[in-house]
Amino acid sequence: MSHATDMWTLYGAPFTSRLLIGSALYPSPAIMSEAILASGSEIITVSLRRQAPEEAGGQSVWTHIQKLNKTLLPNTAGCHSVKEAVTLAQMSREMFETDWIKLEVIGDDYNLQPDPIATVEAADKLVKLGFKVFPYCTDDLVICQRLRDAGCEVLMPWGSPIGTGRGLMNPYNLQTIRERLPDIPLIVDAGIGKPSHAVMALELGYDGILLNTAVAQASEPVVMAKAFRHALLAGRSAYLAGAMPERQTASPSTPTLGMPFWHQS
Amino acid sequence: MSHATDMWTLYGAPFTSRLLIGSALYPSPAIMSEAILASGSEIITVSLRRQAPEEAGGQSVWTHIQKLNKTLLPNTAGCHSVKEAVTLAQMSREMFETDWIKLEVIGDDYNLQPDPIATVEAADKLVKLGFKVFPYCTDDLVICQRLRDAGCEVLMPWGSPIGTGRGLMNPYNLQTIRERLPDIPLIVDAGIGKPSHAVMALELGYDGILLNTAVAQASEPVVMAKAFRHALLAGRSAYLAGAMPERQTASPSTPTLGMPFWHQS
Amino acid sequence: MSHATDMWTLYGAPFTSRLLIGSALYPSPAIMSEAILASGSEIITVSLRRQAPEEAGGQSVWTHIQKLNKTLLPNTAGCHSVKEAVTLAQMSREMFETDWIKLEVIGDDYNLQPDPIATVEAADKLVKLGFKVFPYCTDDLVICQRLRDAGCEVLMPWGSPIGTGRGLMNPYNLQTIRERLPDIPLIVDAGIGKPSHAVMALELGYDGILLNTAVAQASEPVVMAKAFRHALLAGRSAYLAGAMPERQTASPSTPTLGMPFWHQS
Amino acid sequence: MSHATDMWTLYGAPFTSRLLIGSALYPSPAIMSEAILASGSEIITVSLRRQAPEEAGGQSVWTHIQKLNKTLLPNTAGCHSVKEAVTLAQMSREMFETDWIKLEVIGDDYNLQPDPIATVEAADKLVKLGFKVFPYCTDDLVICQRLRDAGCEVLMPWGSPIGTGRGLMNPYNLQTIRERLPDIPLIVDAGIGKPSHAVMALELGYDGILLNTAVAQASEPVVMAKAFRHALLAGRSAYLAGAMPERQTASPSTPTLGMPFWHQS
Amino acid sequence: MIEVRVNSELKQVDAGKSLAALLADWGFDSGKVAVAINEDFVPRSIYASTLLKAADRVDIVSPVQGG
Amino acid sequence: MIEVRVNSELKQVDAGKSLAALLADWGFDSGKVAVAINEDFVPRSIYASTLLKAADRVDIVSPVQGG
Amino acid sequence: MIEVRVNSELKQVDAGKSLAALLADWGFDSGKVAVAINEDFVPRSIYASTLLKAADRVDIVSPVQGG
Amino acid sequence: MIEVRVNSELKQVDAGKSLAALLADWGFDSGKVAVAINEDFVPRSIYASTLLKAADRVDIVSPVQGG
């Protein structure tokens, strides 16, 4: 398989890069732009916030994001209720002129985890309103099934809590979701801290990764962005290549047949 | 940093790729050649065995290996004593016209681990004989120090037993070796099963990876070779980029300032 | 602290043992009885099933369970809907003459995980019907909060899927639940395979363990029951004793002061 | 099996407790004595150091240790050479009137790991001098075999570096040693931080544990000592009982046969 | 006679007979079982006054081991 | 004049003015913001015909970075 | 004639023949193999002057794949 | 008088005195210590017959807690 032809689709739109990247927490707008370009990502997450009129006018990161000319994925980050999430999604659709929405309904301010019940309810409402929903959810198979049943055509279980960089806390759950839902695009969202985490997710059969802090808060965001670009290619190829089975006991690679110095007496 | 300029040196010889790859266990010589080329590796491990005269004449994998025109790293795989290893090293030097030798002195036939004591003794002898020794050793800091003191200018601790594909069994030990021996090239040899394992090793600050089974025994060796090529670029860039610290608690990426729907009463 | 005084309470009832044990899957009713006695457990889970009249009459495990004269915790194992769970709970209350119910509403037949949404809904209904609900749930903090808000006075997050014996798949989530819900009794239910798993759970601050397969399917169920009895005492004492912090680097236990053989020159 | 009859022997001496405990780092001599008694341990590690004449006279922890009337295991902690270790062992034999010696030859001051080569050499010398050697070693199978060949009748591989409390860093290696050396008593020495670590070691088939910091530095050393006493009983029983195999997929404990509410249509 | 399902088996029963009487006919000891009809719980106290309708789904359960 | 909250700040506004006019007064470019009143979305197309009531809670947001 | 082991096979050889000549007899191309006698390395440069003794253990190896 | 190191401290001692006598002078109870000279073990049984040489390194240790 050649990477050129290894496309994937999200709500019918084809993409080559398997990295969705956030636009927050970079040292500067210029570094953000450079890092996003280095990452190869084609999809950028954005948000809506109250701003003073002069900022709302556009002297901000937003102008840099627009210049990148990438597909935008607005989020409902910070919403704590179905009502808030649905209204913010509608505002995003008008503002960003896209029916894509990354649905976040926070259920707890300590681990910032999604509220499973409210997320399913909001997803159902948004799908009925014509949105293409990218739900941020936990690694719970049943909640993932409910979201799919509500009409989500992609699911985004977390690896670990937002901003912790702990990677895949529960590979068993993530693998179970993949096995039980073989046909829907699965993206690990939140918790990715290092490229090895992203490679592991794709080795498990996940289709993509959504991250922000791991690149934005690296000492060298642009270099880390490049690292993740390679990581996603590595993980995807590894999945397609079919890794060797893990073995309990050692077995030599070099042939044992013809080993010198051995002489039957 | 650009990968072009991110070279490393082994006994004074500069290399770009951080992957050393074995030539055994492939489905066919043709696939071996294609996989090694796809891996980007510049160093191939080879060995010496008793063969019937007609094979020794060259109708074999060896002719394919020669065509690849890469740097050769002969090994002493299968040797169980200092004497065997030293003699096989001398035969390799003549046959392959290189003073490089991957030193393996097996200490146990169950886990195929190196014999720490015999490996240090053999390394000492080989260095005195003018060899450039690449010692395969366990993840034991003190043994690594002895090998360096014996004149080894590169060390190759195992990740896990040969052919198990278990990855890095003991990251703590590997990290300790890196911290205590910051200036010598460190290569994880043996146990790598998936690209994520290789990325982890380089994220820890290791300089390279030596593997064979993970590529040769993948369902699609050529695709897996490409996966490892990207994995090494990912891991190296991640190390240079300086990963974010892992955090115990969640912190939001999207700004909380200016969150709508909140009204002081 | 003396174990005699280290009691805990479930819905106002005091208990000394922190082990809740199942009555299924034992080699024989006699071994079940002996194992449960050896475990020191004071609470046994039971269920209701269709049986032929002659069995329903009582030539069964049930007679052995009654002889043990322990507190009974009927379950709704196998129920897939709120309706089924509520009805089976009512039948259990009449049959076992207890308002305690271990609430299970299965959401997926592959991993047998609880359905988070249906479990919260069923818990709410059962509490209103006067039941004392012991909800089997996943390690999801928000679902745990909803169950507590519905009136559950104890929570039973899983360690890993029923019968896998994989132990604590996600210690981070379990710890988060403990930190955020410091005052409600927490029991790890399902997935415990070895005594070390139980000790880990109590070291994390969990109050108890519910298990069945780990004892019933051990080669020697009675000996394993005793092992778990000690494990719960070990884990509880460890929690009360306050474990040393894990350290990154080594530090000697034997005094270094006064080490012989050292002489300043 | 009853614990009373589950004895083990070290150099021919029978013991019931599987815990060997250190006498250092306690808040006070009184707490040391109380903790050691609570731990049930029958073997206490001690050392020799330069002291001012008045202390050497005995106003010290030593008097408390003597009162406990336990079997003493003197150590060579802090020795960095074969010579130092052998001489200190001889001094210990005279002072403590025992031919038992816990052999420590430190190879690196950062991780305080044993020097594998010097430890084997010192063990060989000490055995020839009539000592009963308890070698502190790493989890290296080949070094363990050399120590056994040198005449050690017990081996003490580390779990992790002294005083780190990281538990079993490399269970795979520890398990390999147990499988390859089924008949010699194996004690995990160093790195144990929590009772769950000790239970894991015994579940792997290890015969005992040697620790100090985990009890001495707990907030409540006496309570932690009791926790470890139970942990060793739990771990040993678990090993004898034969744990259930870990399974990949869930399987119900409660019978599925006779589940109500199901009606064929 | 009407047809009902008892623990998923088809049975012909006399529409006039109480649940209490039917349980006895079927060999069950009322004190040792619990009953649901069409997935609704039926308390023991009303067995004597409970009549079945055609196509009713009757569940009769008794204690077993559980996990 | 009525009192409303705009992005949680109290403001006195002329009850007769349209949302479109008020946004302009407040310095916002209608094309660069999205608006909700009392947590209900207000499409741009009806700004001109939308009037505020006393105690309305108005949210005016614009694009920012997001994760 | 003396008896030696060549790659663990017993062979009768003419004690007077050089290793170089024997390799040729056995069908090996001297340029494509490396040799050890009794586990001691024998450089190619001395094949012509090397004679075998009875019971010598001769190893003749050539390149193969390795890991 | 000669100079020796005792537990790394320099001391002047009478070359004619036995180790037994010196230990007593220094305040040690022979029964409660173990001794090494120049890193070689000195058994208690020969303290009385042991003399020190100039620059000897003497170690005198006694029991302490250990891990």
Cβ within 8 Å of residue D61, ≥6 positions away = D23, D29, D32, H64, H65
| pLDDT average, residue stretch B157-165 | 94
Q: Residue A3: pLDDT band by 50, 70, 90 thresholds?
A: very low
Contact A46 F43 (CB under 8 A): no
Q: Do D263 and E5 touch (CB under 8 A)?
A: yes
Please list every residue in chain D whose beta carbon sits closer than 8 Å to the beta carbon of residue H67: 22-25, 45, 75, 77, 162, 212-213
- Residue C1 has what pLDDT? 43
pLDDT at D60 (0 to 100): 78
Q: Which pLDDT belongs to residue A2?
A: 47
Confidence at residue C235, expressed as pLDDT on a 0 to 100 scale:
98
| C87 vs E: CB within 8 A | yes
Mean pLDDT of C223-237: 98
**How crowded is residue A213: how many other Cβ atoms within 10 Å of its Cβ?**
24
- Does residue H33 surpass a pLDDT of 90? yes
Supply the pLDDT for residue E19: 96
Is B262 in Cβ contact with F8 (below 8 Å)? Answer: yes
- Report CB contact under 8 Å: E67, D254: yes
Residue positions of D annotated with a catalytic role:
102
Quote the pLDDT of residue D55: 75
Which residues in B lie closer than 8 A to residue G63 (C-beta atoms)?
Answer: 46-48, 60, 62, 65, 95-96
Return the residue in B173, B174, B175 with the most chain D beta carbons within 10 A, the one to mutate for interface testing: B173
Q: Over the stretch C245-258, which tens digit does the pLDDT of each residue have?
A: 999 889 899 888 88
Averaged over B172-180, what is the pLDDT? Answer: 96
Predicted confidence (pLDDT) at residue C3 exceeds the cutoff of 60 = no
pLDDT tier at A52, thresholds 50, 70, 90:
confident
Mean per-residue pLDDT, B18-27: 96
Residue-wise pLDDT for D217-234, tens only, equals 999 999 999 999 999 999
Determine the pLDDT at residue A5. 73
Conformation bin of residue C227: beta by default, left when phi > 0, alpha when psi is -120 to 50: alpha
On whether any CB of chain E is under 8 Å from the CB of C63, the answer is: no
Q: What is the pLDDT of residue B264?
A: 63
pLDDT tens for the 67 residues of chain E, in order: 999 999 999 999 999 999 999 999 999 999 999 999 999 999 999 999 999 999 999 999 999 999 9
User: Residue B45: its pLDDT value, please?
Assistant: 97
- Which residues of chain H does C253 touch, with a Cβ-Cβ cutoff of 8 Å? 66-67
- Mean pLDDT, residues A143-169 taken together: 96
C170-208 burial, b if ≥16 CB within 10 A, otherwise e?
Answer: bbbbbbbbbeebeebbbbbbbbbbbbbbbbbbbbbebbb
Is the confidence at residue D3, as pLDDT, over 80? Answer: no
pLDDT digits (tens, 9 = 90+) for F2-46: 999 999 999 999 999 999 999 999 999 999 999 999 999 999 999
Instruction: Give the pLDDT score at D146.
Output: 97
List alpha helices for B6-161, DSSP H.
29-39, 53-56, 61-68, 82-96, 116-128, 141-149
Q: Give the per-residue pLDDT at C256.
A: 87
Average pLDDT over residues C156-172: 95
Q: Encoding tokens for residue D252?
A: 């119900």
CB neighbours of B94 closer than 8 A, spacing ≥ 6? G34, G41, G43, G44
Interface of chain E against chain D, CB under 8 Å?
5, 7-8, 36, 39, 57, 59, 61, 64-67
Phi and psi angles of residue B234, each rounded to the nearest 5 degrees, phi first: -65, -50
Predicted confidence at residue B58, as pLDDT, reads: 55
Contact between residue C94 and residue E31 where contact means Cβ atoms under 8 Å apart: no
Q: Are B47 and G64 in contact (CB under 8 A)?
A: yes
User: Which of C67, C70, C83, C102 is labelled catalytic?
Assistant: C102
- Which pLDDT belongs to residue B2? 47
What is the predicted pLDDT for the residue at A58? 56
Chain H residues in contact with chain C using a Cβ-Cβ cutoff of 8 Å: 5, 7-8, 36, 39, 57, 59, 61, 64-67
pLDDT category of residue A265 using cuts at 50, 70 and 90 = low
Q: State the best of H3, H59, H62 to mutate against chain C, taking most chain C CBs within 10 Å.
A: H59
Looking at residue D26, what is its pLDDT?
Answer: 95
pLDDT of residue C159: 97
* Cβ(D154)–Cβ(D184) below 8 Å: yes
Tell me: pLDDT of C265 over 80. no
> What's the pLDDT band for B59 if we cut at 50, 70, 90?
low
Residue B100 confidence (pLDDT):
98
Distance (Å) from the C-alpha of residue H38 to the closest C-alpha of chain D? 10
The number of helices, as runs of H, and strands, as runs of E, in chain A is 10, 10
User: What distance in Å separates residue B251's CA from the closest CA in chain F?
Assistant: 11
Q: Is residue A119 within 8 Å of A150, Cβ to Cβ?
A: no
For residue range H11-32, what is the model confidence (pLDDT) as tens digits? 999 999 999 999 999 999 999 9
pLDDT at B55: 75
